[in-house]
Structure 1
Amino acid sequence: MQVTVLGAGIIGVSTAWHLLQRGHTVTLVDRQPDAALETSFANAAQISVSYCEPWANREAPLKALKWMFSATSPLLFRPQIDPAQWRWGLQFLGQCNDAAFERNVAQLVALGSYSHAALKDVVAETGIEYHRLERGIAHYYTDQKSFDGAAGAAAVMQKFGVKRKVISRDELLKIEPALTAFANRIVGGTFTPSDESGDARVFTQQLAALCAQRGAQMLYSHDVEAIDATGGSVQQVRVRDRATGATRALKADAYVVACGAYTTPLLKRVGVQVPIYPGKGYSATLPLLQPDKAPQVSMIDDQLKIAMSRLGNQLRVAGTIELGGFDLSLDTPLAKKRCEMLVKRIEEVFPGVADTRTPEQGGDPQFWTGLRPATPTNIPLMGRTTVGKLWVNAGHGTLGWTHGAGSGKALAELINGEQPAMAFDFYGMKPQTKAPMARTAQMQALPPSQA
Structure 2
Amino acid sequence: MHACVIGAGVIGVTTAWQLARQGWQVTLVDSAAEPASGASHANGGQLSYSYVAPLAGPGVLPHLPVWLLNPNSPLRFRLRADPLQWRWCLQFLQACNARTASATSAQLLSLSYLSRQVLHDLQQDTPIDFGHARNGKLIVYRTPGLLAKARAQLALQADLGSEQQLLTTEQLIEREPALAPARATLAGAIYTPSEESGDCARFTQGLAQQLATLHQVELRPQTVIRQLDRQDGRIRRILTTTGESIEADQFVLAAGMGSRPLLAALGVHAPLYPLKGYSLSLPCRQAQVPAISVTDYERRTVYAKLGDTLRIAAMVGIGTLEQGIEAGRIALVKRQAQALLPHLQMESAQAWSGLRPATPHGRPLIGRSRAADNLWLNIGHGALGFTLACGSSHLLGSLMRDTAPAIDPTPFRPDC
Q: Considering the TM-score relative to the shorter chain, is it more than 0.5?
A: yes
Structure 2: how far apart are the matches of 1:52 and 1:287? 28
TM norm structure 2: 0.96
After superposition, the Cα gap between the structure-2 partners of 1:321 and 1:429, relative to the gap in structure 1 and judged at 3 Å, is closer
Alignment partner, residue 32 of structure 2:
32
Alignment RMSD (CA, Å) = 1.4
The question of 1:355 aligning with 2:345 is answered yes
Structure 2: how far apart are the matches of 1:426 and 1:148? 30
Structure 2: how far apart are the matches of 1:106 and 1:428? 16
Alignment partner, residue 407 of structure 1:
392
Structure 2: how far apart are the matches of 1:396 and 1:198? 17
Structure 1: how far apart are the matches of 2:279 and 2:165? 27
User: Partner letter of residue 408 of structure 2?
Assistant: A
SS in 2 for 1:43: coil
Conserved 8 A contact 1:272-1:385: no
Range 57-66 or range 172-181, more displaced: 57-66
Structure 1: how far apart are the matches of 2:410 and 2:142? 37
The question of 1:118 aligning with 2:118 is answered yes
Alignment partner, residue 445 of structure 1:
none
TM norm structure 1: 0.89
The question of 1:368 aligning with 2:369 is answered no
Superposition deviation, residue 230 in structure 1:
1.6
Structure 2: how far apart are the matches of 1:305 and 1:156? 21
Range 156-165 or range 200-209, more displaced: 156-165
Alignment partner, residue 271 of structure 1:
267
Per-residue CA distance 1:285-344 (angstroms, 9 max, x = gap): 1222x43232110110011011001112221110211111532121xxxx2222112212
The question of 1:80 aligning with 2:80 is answered yes
- Aligned equivalent of 1:260, options 256, 262, 267: 256
The question of 1:316 aligning with 2:303 is answered no
The question of 1:298 aligning with 2:293 is answered yes
Superposition deviation, residue 392 in structure 1:
0.5
Structure 1: how far apart are the matches of 2:413 and 2:143? 43
Range 394-403 or range 209-218, more displaced: 209-218
Q: How many residues align?
A: 413
Structure 2: how far apart are the matches of 1:92 and 1:59? 13
After superposition, the Cα gap between the structure-2 partners of 1:428 and 1:153, relative to the gap in structure 1 and judged at 3 Å, is closer
Conserved 8 A contact 1:43-1:283: yes
Superposition deviation, residue 364 in structure 1:
2.5
Superposition deviation, residue 429 in structure 1:
7.5
User: Partner letter of residue 416 of structure 1?
Assistant: R
Alignment partner, residue 13 of structure 2:
13
Alignment partner, residue 342 of structure 1:
333
Alignment partner, residue 230 of structure 2:
229
Conserved 8 A contact 2:369-2:414: no
The question of 1:219 aligning with 2:220 is answered yes
Alignment partner, residue 202 of structure 1:
202
Conserved 8 A contact 1:71-1:337: no
Runs (5+) with no aligned partner, structure 2: none
Alignment partner, residue 95 of structure 1:
95
Structure 1: how far apart are the matches of 2:106 and 2:320? 29
Structure 2: how far apart are the matches of 1:336 and 1:160? 41
Structure 1: how far apart are the matches of 2:81 and 2:401? 42
Per-residue CA distance 1:158-196 (angstroms, 9 max, x = gap): 121111221112222222111111112111000111111
Runs (5+) with no aligned partner, structure 1: 241-245, 357-362, 431-451
Superposition deviation, residue 60 in structure 1:
1.2
Conserved 8 A contact 2:366-2:392: yes
The question of 1:327 aligning with 2:322 is answered yes
SS in 2 for 1:346: helix
User: Partner letter of residue 235 of structure 2?
Assistant: V
Superposition deviation, residue 239 in structure 1:
2.1
Structure 2: how far apart are the matches of 1:171 and 1:122? 35
Per-residue CA distance 1:391-421 (angstroms, 9 max, x = gap): 0000001100110111111111211112221
Superposition deviation, residue 428 in structure 1:
4.4
Structure 1: how far apart are the matches of 2:301 and 2:414? 35
Instruction: Determine what percentage of the aligned residue pairs are the same residue.
Output: 34
Structure 2: how far apart are the matches of 1:404 and 1:110? 13
1:138-217 superposed matches below 5 A: 138-215=138-215, 216-217=217-218
SS in 2 for 1:50: coil
Structure 1: how far apart are the matches of 2:18 and 2:221? 19
Structure 1: how far apart are the matches of 2:314 and 2:338? 16
After superposition, the Cα gap between the structure-2 partners of 1:222 and 1:429, relative to the gap in structure 1 and judged at 3 Å, is closer
The question of 1:378 aligning with 2:379 is answered no
SS in 1 for 2:404: coil
